[in-house]
Structure 1
Amino acid sequence: MAYWQDRAAQRRVWAIAFPLILSNISVPLVGLVDTAVIGHLDAAYHLGAVAVGSTLFTFVVWLAGFLRMGTTGFAAQACGEGDGAELRRILLQSAWLAVLISLLVWLLHAPLLELGLRYLDSSAELLEHARAYFQIRLTSLPAALINFVLIGWFIGAQNSRAPFAILLMVNLVNIALDLLLVALLGLGVEGAAWASVCGDLCGLLLGLTLLGPILRQYPGRFDWLRAAKLKGAAPLLRVNRDILIRSLALQSVFYLLVVQGARLGDQVVAANAVLLNFLLIASHGLDGLAHALEALGGHALGKRDKDALRRVLVITIGWAVLLSLVFVLVFLGAGDLVVRVLTDLPEVRAEAIRYLPWVAVMPLVAVWSYLLDGLFIGASRALAMRNAMLLALACYLPLAWALRGQGNHYLWFAFLMFMALRSVFLGGWFGWLWRTGRWMKTD
């Protein structure tokens, strides 16, 4: 209780969390605008195509989510130690990795795309537009990945205003161009894709201009040659490898949800696309508190301050549970209204409202995994994150296989169980590390 009443600690948490909650929620709001604009076109396959195409692109981008998460932990610890040279090395090497990954995806994008579409039993129109959407989005892949690096680096440096500005720029440009290119000019699915491309590029330009204050706060020099050769990057690469495997497992579950929904028909996959926006809103909002835990927890680890870590844990857990309850109440009370705003296709509306209760209760189940991810990211303990995710996936796949073809209710039930298992495995691992004195190396 004393930790919760610490006003200075509350202010530190919210100084980081509040801008990030606002900026994070703006990300799925773009998805809401995409869905609302495309959802009012004349056929369900348009909405389904954006759902499939964006899922494929998100699969690629979020596989590289280690660029954000790995950068945050090491940057937070470098700030805790006051090491400006290390802070610069992390920034350069992570950005260089983003460029290399983008080049690799560009080279392999054709077989990757066909592999992603192979198992979708959907209409030819849906697959054609999904393919076009994905290929356009690849144009801005380097910008999207370097934005990940910048956001993670700023969070690690306990600067939440810069990520807020970057994401706000990305999303405002995206929304404005969605309305212009799709609603006014009638460019359809391709217009939505180009709107996202322009948003990523504008966000990158803004992010680069915001580096100066932090670089001046932590003096040092850029060693460009050492960064290009990835010298001293072994810990970063190990963490990124483990987060990559973890992200692959997580995105596989989301992709499987889309694939199984697509096999139930265009209306089901379109309805699930609408419902995923609810989950994205909740997860991005709660991630603001998880990011605060990353930054402050990593900083406490860099200073070897267990009391500071306990304080930020109590505060972030308390607020995250309260916020998740707010999401549940809003989704249950106004979810059907949101669905009706997002699409005027009667069959898609009916399907989405039928399965709405599953995503309405999801925040209370998933909040623990978001917070635990933030805790482990701040400590750069990616191996534990990877193992917990693989265990959850190993339990989920047999369940999903057993329930295949049973209907959409069963798909969402299996997904809910997966989110619960993530929390159980990662929470158990943290509890063991804390009880045995292995979390901080001062014991």
Structure 2
Amino acid sequence: MDDTPGTSDNPEPEVHRLRGRALDRQILALAIPALGALVAEPLFVLADSAMVGHLGTAQLAGLSLSSTILTTAVGVFIFLAYATTAATARRVGAGDRSGAVSAGIDGMWLALLLGVGTAAVLMVAAPSLVSGAPADVVPHAVAYLRWSAPGLPGMLLVLAATGTLRGLLDTRTPFVVAVAGALGNVGLNALFIYGVGMGVAGSGLGTALTQTAMAVVLVAVILRRARGMDVAFAPHGAGIWASARAGLPLLIRTLTLRAAIVVTIAVATSLGAVTLASHQVVNAMWGLSAFALDALAIAAQAMVGQSLGAGDPGAVRALLRRCLQWGVAAGVLIGVVFAAAGWWLAPLFTGDPEVRLAAAVGLAVIGACMPIAGWVFVLDGVLIGAGDGTYLAWAGVITLVAYLPMAWAVHAFAGDGAAGLAWLWAAFGGGFMLARAVTTGVRARGTRWMVLGAER
């Protein structure tokens, strides 16, 4: 019989009883498939870009603009995954497995409602959203948005269903579905873009169908578990409202993070072409590192939630310490690689010597900041797993306010080139992340976030 954590044939391991190497194995058993699922998602964009790029510059520009709008819309609702993970994990830890699945189902109904509403808005507002683009780009951007928008309910359902399965300590199923989806997306896009001749619209349609198919598979997995526990799949108004209430603070937190990113890009743009171009290189590598650290945060979310549900504060503290050790160690490793390999990585992105120099310096700066990032990502996951969204929302506002003067100082006093980029990433990767480390660290040292039991 399969003894894989999170399979439908066996109960999840009692996380709060794990210690030492067994605890390390469980962290990695959750984090590695989670990392695979996180990496699979950007492959959608890469596949779309590679195929659409052969259609022409205007088509590729239209895809770039519209996919940014689409991913932003989806990113705003990432709380669907976080909130369902926390709610499900707590109930599993408390021994209420049917209640855990029921909470996940409520989150999925909320995702469906938000997805339908957002899709309708994007389809209607598509021309207005891309109106600032060049005239030859607008038709392609509108086409992609309108053909991909019907897949938004599926995209958000995937988030909520993935969060539910993570709370059940199953990160393997979302990984398998994400990989299959990435491969299926390539085939469908090739069919609709080239075979049917739909162009950019075909790319949008292929992505929408893929996301919908992924949602159907994940919902079917959860529905099978619900039937085995005699849990109704019908919507419950109170449960949906509870999911929305739990998700609102995490939405605010997400918006503050995105605001900081937008401010950083705006400052890079104001400093000049060299800084902006090299910022894109450094930002891409920062995003790559975020996948590894996010995977550890996902493991922390699920395991801490279950231990709190089981009413074991000692296990929560042990998990906190061990996950932080993993996070900081991963940050150190990634940081050393970036700092040491920056001079060789930068030429892969550009032949401009000024941009290469600035990118290499920027990579050294973020390399030094990576241990802080590892600490922050894990603590963020721990507090999300504890359902401490209200505090995280306030902390997000505080850290954004703390970052704005730093960003303004870089804008006002830094110049274009390597020095400007170094100061910008010192402000974001150092200052902003340090502010997040302080706010989350102060909270984690106390006990107010450690609410025990199935409900927070």
Determine if contact 2:80/2:111 at 8 Å carries over to the other structure: yes
Uncovered stretches (5+) of structure 1, i.e. residues with no partner: none
CA distance in 2, matches of 1:341, 1:128: 32
Uncovered stretches (5+) of structure 2, i.e. residues with no partner: 1-16
Q: Higher RCO, 1 or 2 (CA under 8 Å, sep at least 6)?
A: 1
In the alignment, which residue of structure 2 is the partner of 1:149? 160
Cα 1:397–1:134 shift into 2, 3 Å? farther
Deviations 1:38-75 (CA, angstroms, capped at 9, x unpaired): 789986x8776655443322221111111111101000
Residue 69 of structure 1: which of 58, 82, 94 is its match? 82
Determine if contact 1:278/1:359 at 8 Å carries over to the other structure: no
Alignment of 1:150-165 (within 5 A): 150-165=161-176
Residue 140 of structure 1: which of 136, 151, 161 is its match? 151
Determine if contact 1:28/1:277 at 8 Å carries over to the other structure: no
Cα 1:41–1:160 shift into 2, 3 Å? same
CA distance in 1, matches of 2:271, 2:193: 28
CA distance in 1, matches of 2:343, 2:187: 26
Q: 22-31 vs 285-294, which deviates more?
A: 22-31
2:34 is equivalent to residue 20 of structure 1:
yes
Cα 1:214–1:4 shift into 2, 3 Å? closer
Report the residue type matching 1:309 in the other structure.
V
Percent identity, aligned pairs only, is 27
Cα 1:357–1:191 shift into 2, 3 Å? farther
Determine if contact 1:169/1:199 at 8 Å carries over to the other structure: no
In the alignment, which residue of structure 1 is the partner of 2:450? 439
Determine if contact 1:84/1:215 at 8 Å carries over to the other structure: no
2:208 is equivalent to residue 205 of structure 1:
no
Q: 155-164 vs 34-43, which deviates more?
A: 34-43
Report the residue type matching 2:32 in the other structure.
F
RMSD of aligned residue pairs (Cα, Å): 4.0
For residue 376 of structure 1, report the CA deviation from its aligned partner: 1.2
Normalised by the size of structure 2, how large is the TM-score? 0.79
CA distance in 2, matches of 1:414, 1:47: 32
In the alignment, which residue of structure 2 is the partner of 1:103? 116
For residue 368 of structure 1, report the CA deviation from its aligned partner: 2.0
Report the residue type matching 2:283 in the other structure.
L
Q: 381-390 vs 86-95, which deviates more?
A: 86-95
Alignment of 1:257-268 (within 5 A): 257-261=264-268
Give aligned pairs, total: 430
CA distance in 2, matches of 1:74, 1:105: 24
In the alignment, which residue of structure 2 is the partner of 1:325? 332
Alignment of 1:224-373 (within 5 A): 224-225=234-235, 227=236, 230-261=237-268, 272-334=279-341, 355-373=362-380
Deviations 1:129-178 (CA, angstroms, capped at 9, x unpaired): 55554444423111110000011000001111112112222333345566
Report the residue type matching 2:293 in the other structure.
L
Normalised by the size of structure 1, how large is the TM-score? 0.81
Residue 11 of structure 1: which of 8, 25, 29 is its match? 25
Determine if contact 1:76/1:156 at 8 Å carries over to the other structure: yes
CA distance in 2, matches of 1:223, 1:212: 7
2:387 is equivalent to residue 380 of structure 1:
yes
Determine if contact 1:46/1:189 at 8 Å carries over to the other structure: yes
Report the residue type matching 1:427 in the other structure.
G
In the alignment, which residue of structure 1 is the partner of 2:8? none
2:107 is equivalent to residue 94 of structure 1:
yes
CA distance in 1, matches of 2:199, 2:344: 24
Determine if contact 1:31/1:277 at 8 Å carries over to the other structure: no
For residue 386 of structure 1, report the CA deviation from its aligned partner: 0.5
For residue 315 of structure 1, report the CA deviation from its aligned partner: 2.3
Q: Secondary structure at the match of 1:403?
A: helix
CA distance in 2, matches of 1:90, 1:31: 31
